[in-house]
Each structure stands twice: as C-alpha cells, then as structure tokens.
Amino acid sequence: MELALDQLDRTTRAQLAALWRERAVSEASVGSVFVQLVEELVASGAPAAIIELARQAQRDEARHARVCADLAEAYGGTPVELPPARSVRLPDHGQSDVRLRAALHAINLCCISETIASAFVEACLGGCAADALRELHGQHLADEVHHARVGWAYLATLSPSERAAVAPHLPALLDVQLRLWSERIGALPEAGVAGHGYPPRAQLLEAVHAAISELILPGFDHVGVDSAPARARFARSARSAPSCVART
Amino acid sequence: MSQRRSLHERLFRAIVMMGASLGASACGDDGGNPPPPDAGGSTDARVADASTDGPPLQDAPVDGVLIL
C-alpha cells in the first residue's frame, strides 16, 4: 500500500499508527452493536431487506477493523496485534415495546452515529493525498452511507404513533452522540496530519455539527419524526460549543 | 460554502432519502409490516420519490467515490 510514508517523520508515523490501531479496536466493537440491532429488528418483525442491510453492516465493521489494523501496521512498520473485540450493547431505554426499542437502537446507531460517521469520513477523504488512502476512505464512506440507511429505512416503516413515541428520545440520544464524537475528535491531533486522512480537529468538529444540522435533524423531519425538541437542544449545545465550530 | 452544501445535499439524498425509500419499498415487498396508515403530507416516506438529479432511489448503489 503506497502511503507516501517517506514524507513523514518517525513521530508522526507512530502517531498515525496509534490512531489507526485505536480505530481498529473501535470498529471491532461496533460489530457487536450491529449484532444487537439485527436481533432487535428480527424481534420487531422488520422487513427482511432492512434486516439484511443490518447484517451486511455487521460484516462490514469486521472488514473495517482489518483495514484499520492494516493501516496501523503500514504506518508503524510492525505487525499489529489487536485485543479481543469488546462486546458492546446499546442501552434499552427501559423500553418493553420491541418495535420502539428497535427504533431507538436504529436511531442511535444508524440515523445519528453512522450518519455523523459518513460526514466524518467524507471530511477525512478530502484530507487524503495518496490514491490508496483515498480509495480506502471512499469505500469506507460508501459503507457508512449504507449503514446509516438502515436507521432511516426502519423509521420509514413505523406508524405515526410509533414515530411520535420515539421523538421525545431524540434530544438525549443526540446529546450523547455529540458528546462522544466531540470527545473522540478532541483526542485527535489539533492540526491534523496533512494528506493522511486527518484534517484539523476544528474541521472534523464542524463536519459533525453540520451532519447534525444538515442531515440528521432534517432527516427526522423527512421521515415524519418531530425534530423540534432535538433542534432546540442542539441549538443550545451549539451556542456553548467552541468558537471553531460553526453555529446553527 | 456552496460546495459543502452541495456535498451535504448529496449525502442527504444518499442516506436519508434512499434509506426512507428502501424502508417504504421493503414494507410493500415483505408484506410483514404494512406501510403505516395516515402517513400523509410531508411525513409520507414516499416523498422520497421527489425528483433528484440522480438515478432511481430504490436501485442506485452508492458509489465508493460518491463525493467526487
């Protein structure tokens, strides 16, 4: 894999190797969350096509982990050994209704997190110089788009009363994801690593905020889930965000 | 800004509109969960049929270089 490594000093290569190793570990854990989502979708009687999309997403995450590990090895110059993947479960939100529980999981994982991930990877793609890196990020972006679709597809199958039932949960779900993404980006190099898929931290934060304001909130409106409370909560969060983040 | 907005419009179509369209189609094909009743007006998932400048929403795969 040609990554223009000769342009990097040893410290930067080690930094990139560590970042990709961390992402490999994270990707491996996300697979278990899609296992949970598949279980929930099956139990809720979701259409087979949507269940298959979620199963494919689970398989994709395993592949993503391998790709990230390969990049960690390429940058680090040594084989990467990953710990056993953690089994992570999404909260049940105290929901006994199987369809609402599936909907909240789909919203959390797909409508919010994977949609943000799509914008994040798109921003990273713009920061790739080497063809090999652009190709990897391009494929990753395509996968994240497919993963995000699972949530929007499932919301489109809900009845009006079910859509009304999930709406009050949106502000809290969005809050948690925004915090997690902000923390994750906060751990990345502030200036980024030019040409290697890590734009400056401020640009990545802006991508996350733009994903929420331009994709996710309008998306809820599009599928008939009231986004007003979530918009209000997000507007308050944006006002208190660092000045480098675009205001909504 | 206009370039970024164009990019997000494409992501919105690719993610939200195609996803919603897939869900509505899957309901009809599967027969398990019928489309929700009274999903009228702008809340109807079938609003995803609104014209776009891309290929048919149900069938077009996402290209690995969507953004280019």
**CA of B56 to nearest chain A CA: how many angstroms apart?**
16
User: Which of B7, B15, B38 has the CB atom closest to A145's CB atom?
Assistant: B15
What tokens appear for A54 in the block?
């979620």
**Residues A82 and A147 sit within 8 Å (Cβ to Cβ):** no
Q: Is the pLDDT of residue A85 over 90?
A: no
Q: Is A47 on the interface with B (CB under 8 A)?
A: yes
**CA of B37 to nearest chain A CA: how many angstroms apart?**
7
What is the predicted pLDDT for the residue at A237? 83
Q: Is A221 on the interface with B (CB under 8 A)?
A: yes
Q: Is the pLDDT of residue B62 over 50?
A: no
Taking only the tens place, the pLDDT of each residue in A138-150 is: 999 999 999 999 9
**Nearest Cα to A55, choosing from A34, A26, A85?**
A34
Least confident of A10-24, A87-101, A164-178, B4-18: A87-101
Q: Is the pLDDT of residue B66 over 70?
A: no
Contact B64 A142 (CB under 8 A): yes
Mean predicted confidence (pLDDT) in A18-46: 90
Confidence class for position B1, pLDDT limits 50, 70, 90? low
**Nearest Cα to A67, choosing from A35, A36, A26?**
A26
What tokens appear for A10 in the block?
């040893």
What is the predicted pLDDT for the residue at A116? 95
A contact test, residue of B22, B42, B43, B57 with most A CBs within 10 A: B22
Mean predicted confidence (pLDDT) in A85-99: 80
What is the predicted pLDDT for the residue at A206? 94
Q: Is the pLDDT of residue A198 over 90?
A: yes
Contact A222 B14 (CB under 8 A): no
Among chain B residues, the shortest Cα distance to A224 is held by: B43
Q: Give CA separation, A13 vs A83, A119, A148, A217, in Å.
A: 21, 25, 31, 38
Q: Please report the number of interchain residue pairs, chain A to chain B, with beta-carbon separation below 8 angstroms.
A: 134
Contact B64 A46 (CB under 8 A): no
What is the predicted pLDDT for the residue at A134? 92
* Chain A residues within 8 A of B25 when measuring between CB atoms: 49
